[in-house]
Amino acid sequence: MDYLQNLNYHYRPGRGWINDPNGLVYFKGYYHIFYQHAPDYELPWQQPMHWGHARTKDFLTFEELPVALCPDKPYDTDGCWSGTATVKDGVLYLFYASIRKDAEGHHAHQTVSVATSTDGIHFEKYAGNPVIDHYPTDGGKDFRDPAVCHINGKYYCVMATGNPETQTGRLLLYESNDLLQWHYVGIMREWADCKYAECPSFLPAEGGYLLAASVCPLEKCHYFSITYGDFCDNKFIPRVKGEVDKGPDQYAGQVFRDHLGRNILISWMPGWKYKGYADRDIGCMSAPRELTLRDGHICAYPVAELQHLLTDSDPAVERTANGFIIRREGREPVVYEGEIHDLKILRDGYIIEVFVNGGREVYSALL
């Protein structure tokens, strides 16, 4: 398998490391994709994280833009980590985890900062950063990945964290009227027996609300949780739960709502275990999937712009009597067992995404 080949419709930068998608947003006629980025290295942690930037009109062709955020302030000298974007009064706001190490070299100071832009290309950091300068007692030092949204005239920020004393992964809720002054509200959602949660998304959807997060249990591998439910008294009450993308080679999904009213999920592929796998970073963004609630199931299916690329078969996918097998080079195959009414495949070089039964289950893999 040629892991250095160009990909046709999965975005990756011309050079440098890429991981989590950040700040997914539709602004001034373009879909903007920001992402964790080391512009000068093909491996992570050789330099503090930046925010890379690309835009597209159709999710088929991408324009790589200048780096949007650089770690150049005292509060973010050790990285501009993951976050989200929102638009207010024609201005694009980027919220990010601003990281500063302590004297022992730990990422101990994890705060929230904001940068703004009127053209979607050039960004200016707010003079009053950080806008959230410490985690509350309900959280812990893993305190990052701000997810900002607008609901019923008020702005909310969901923060991912964990509480070491209770051993729970938690999402904490803040509120604001102006996107700059934030007030802590309380625990919005939590998971028992976890180190922490990461990479949340929160937005209106399907007559309720959608909440997504990567959950990191104490002794198991992380999983990506997507839940539809109700938002009442600053708590999220789940109604329908799903993992949707079973991987195994994806991480850090982010969901945003576009100008057409679609809730779109994009994840990072293939994940941390492949750092240094080839001579250059082989990471990329997944195909965008529209999330819908259908017959009591959360489904993820490629957006309409990409559906003409779907196929019914692929040499890497072997159909079996009770499912299918994805053959991967030099690694364990991905085995699916279950009833299949419909199977669609999206293949782009060394990346494959398999959609089972209209997107009730998705398998994203590096071949």
The Cα–Cα gap between 197 and 21 comes to 16
Within 13 Å of residue 204, how many CA atoms lie on the same side as its CB?
9
Task: Please tell me which residue in 2, 20, 295, 312 is annotated as part of the active site.
Answer: 20
SS3 308: helix
**156 and 204 in contact (C-beta within 8 Å)?**
no
Query: Nearest-CA neighbor of 99 among 147, 137, 47?
Result: 47
Q: Which residues are CB-contacts of 299 (< 8 A; sequence separation ≥ 6)?
A: 244, 291, 292, 293, 358, 359, 360
Q: Is the dihedral of CA 27, 33, 36, 39 positive or negative?
A: negative
Q: 262 to each of 218, 247, 292, 293, how far by Cα in Å?
A: 34, 23, 9, 12
Contacts 24+ apart (CB under 8 A), 274-280: 274/249, 274/366, 275/17, 275/43, 275/44, 276/43, 277/3, 278/3, 278/4, 279/4, 279/42, 280/4, 280/15, 280/42
Q: Which residues are CB-contacts of 122 (< 8 A; sequence separation ≥ 6)?
A: none
Q: Does the annotation count 133 as an active-site position?
A: no
Query: Nearest-CA neighbor of 130 among 109, 156, 108, 112?
Result: 112
Q: Where in the sequence numbering do the catalytic residues fall?
A: 20
